[in-house]
Amino acid sequence: MASNQSRDVLLEDNHDFLPASPTSEYINSSVLSLSILGVFEIETPIDDSPTIELLREQFLPINNRFSSILIRDGNGAQRWKKVDIRLEDHVKVPHFPTGLPPATYDEYLQEYLSKIALDRLPENRPLWEIHLIKYPTSDAAGTVVFKLHHALGDGFSLMGALFSCLKRADDPSLPLTFPTYSTKSTTSSTSHRMSDTCKKVSTIAAGCWYTASDFVQSVLHSTVLQDDHTAIRSGTPLVEFEPVTISSVTFSLDRIREIKSKISGTVNDVAVGIIFYAIQLYQQRMGQISPGRRMTALVLLNTRMVNGYQCVEDMLKEKTWGNHFTFLQIAIPSSDNAEKENPLAFLLKAKKTIKRKRHSLAVYLNGRLVQMLRTIRGPEAASRYIHATMKNTTTGISYLVGPMEKMEMGDLPVKSFYFSVVGVPQSLALTMVSYMGNLRVVASAEKRFINSQLLMSCMKEAYDKVHREACGVDGTESQ
> Using the 8-state DSSP alphabet, how is residue 76 labeled?
S
- 267 with 312, same domain: the answer is yes
Residue 106 inside a domain? The answer is yes
Residue 108 inside a domain? The answer is yes
**CA pair distance 94, 396, nearest whole angstrom:** 30
**Residue 226: its pLDDT value, please?**
94
What's the domain range around 342? 196-471
**CA pair distance 475, 195, nearest whole angstrom:** 42
Hey, CA dihedral for 105, 108, 114, 118, is it positive or negative? negative
- 163 with 221, same domain: the answer is no
- 222 with 296, same domain: the answer is yes
- 162 with 221, same domain: the answer is no
Residues 6+ positions from 117 with CB-CB distance below 8 Å: 35, 37, 244, 246, 420, 422, 423, 444
The separation between the first and the last C-alpha atoms of the chain, rounded to the nearest angstrom, is 63
Residue 8 inside a domain? The answer is no
**Residue 13: its pLDDT value, please?**
40
**CA pair distance 215, 367, nearest whole angstrom:** 11
DSSP letter for each residue of 210-228: HHHHHHHHHHHHTTT--PP
Residue 332 inside a domain? The answer is yes
Detail the DSSP E strand segments found in 150-253: 167-168, 244-252
- 110 with 244, same domain: the answer is no
Q: How many structural domains compose the chain?
A: 2
- 256 with 350, same domain: the answer is yes
User: Are the C-beta atoms of 357 and 326 separated by less than 8 Å?
Assistant: no
Residue 97 inside a domain? The answer is yes
DSSP letter for each residue of 391-441: HTSSEEEEEE---SSPEEETTEEEEEEEEEEES-SSSEEEEEEEETTEEEE
Q: Which one, of 460, 461, 468, 453, lies nearest residue 439 by Cα?
A: 460
Residue 173 inside a domain? The answer is no
Q: What CA–CA distances, in Å, run from 429 to 233, 249, 399?
A: 11, 14, 12
Instruction: For residue 278, give the 3-state DSSP assignment.
Output: helix
Q: What share of the chain is helix, strand, coil (3-state, %, to 5)?
A: 45, 20, 35
Rg (CA), the chain: 23
Counting as low any pLDDT under 50, the low residues of the chain are: 1-15, 182-199, 201, 304-306, 475-479
Torsion of CA 374, 377, 378, 380, to 10 degrees: -100
User: Are the C-beta atoms of 476 and 466 separated by less than 8 Å?
Assistant: no
**CA pair distance 321, 344, nearest whole angstrom:** 37
Task: Please say which residue of 168, 184, 208 terminates a domain.
Answer: 168
- 205 with 161, same domain: the answer is no
Angle at 190 between CA 188 and CA 193, to 5 degrees: 70
194 membership: H or E segment, kind and range: helix 193-221
Q: What CA–CA distances, in Å, run from 97 to 108, 135, 136, 137?
A: 9, 9, 12, 13
- 155 with 250, same domain: the answer is no
User: Are the C-beta atoms of 434 and 266 separated by less than 8 Å?
Assistant: no
- 53 with 130, same domain: the answer is yes
Residues above pLDDT 70, as percent of the chain: 83
Angle at 442 between CA 88 and CA 228, to 5 degrees: 120
User: How confident is the model over 320-370, as pLDDT tens digits?
Assistant: 555 555 677 889 988 777 777 888 988 998 888 888 877 778 777 887 888
Residue 64 inside a domain? The answer is yes
Task: Please say which residue of 149, 168, 187 terminates a domain.
Answer: 168
Q: What is the side-by-side order of every strand in the sheet holding 128-133? A: 91-92, 128-133, 142-149, 35-42, 412-422, 407-409, 167-168
- Rounded to 5 degrees, φ, ψ at 209 are -65, -45
Determine if residue 120 is left, alpha or beta; phi over 0 gives left, psi from -120 to 50 gives alpha, anything else beta. beta
**Residue 197: its pLDDT value, please?**
44
- 344 with 389, same domain: the answer is yes
Q: Which one, of 310, 316, 323, lies nearest residue 398 by Cα?
A: 323
- 337 with 381, same domain: the answer is yes
- Give the CATH number, domain containing residue 201: 3.30.559.30
In terms of C-beta density within 10 A (0-12 exposed, 13-18 middle, 19 or more buried), how is residue 139 classed? middle
- 162 with 202, same domain: the answer is no
Strands 91-92 and 128-133: parallel
User: 408: which strand partners?
Assistant: 167, 413
Residues 6+ positions from 367 with CB-CB distance below 8 Å: 326
131 membership: H or E segment, kind and range: strand 128-133
In terms of C-beta density within 10 A (0-12 exposed, 13-18 middle, 19 or more buried), how is residue 24 classed? buried
Residue 118 inside a domain? The answer is yes
CA 434 to chain centre: 13
Task: Please say which residue of 123, 153, 168 terminates a domain.
Answer: 168
- Give the CATH number, domain containing residue 81: 3.30.559.10
